[in-house]
Amino acid sequence: MTKIQILGPGCARCKKLADVTDACASELGMDYSIEKVTDIMEIVKAGVMQTPAVAAGGRILHQGSVPSKDEMKRILQKNL
């Protein structure tokens, strides 16, 4: 199972990123779980410079915006 992290303070953009990521991972048939990381120290430790961000496997996959569903699917397929 792949753990996908949504990193951000819990704002509306963070929620939207979580929703888009969840929908795309589900549509791709992935075996995954989503973890929301809101602790600023954990976000900084992960190397995130702009929120919201999505990470998996210790790597930041995207940060600073909410990508479209098509773009998020490409990100997930390329990196996971």
pLDDT tens digits, 39-76: 999 999 999 999 999 999 999 999 999 999 999 999 99
Amino acid making up residue 19: D
CA-wise closest residue to 15 among 40, 34, 32: 34
Please give the pLDDT value at position 26: 97
Q: How confident is the model at residue 15 (pLDDT cuts 50, 70, 90)?
A: very high
pLDDT tens digits, 31-49: 999 999 999 999 999 999 9
Which residue ranges form the domains of the chain, and what is each CATH number? 2-79 (3.40.30.10)
Catalogue the active-site residues: 11, 14
| Cα gap 45→26, rounded to integer Å | 28
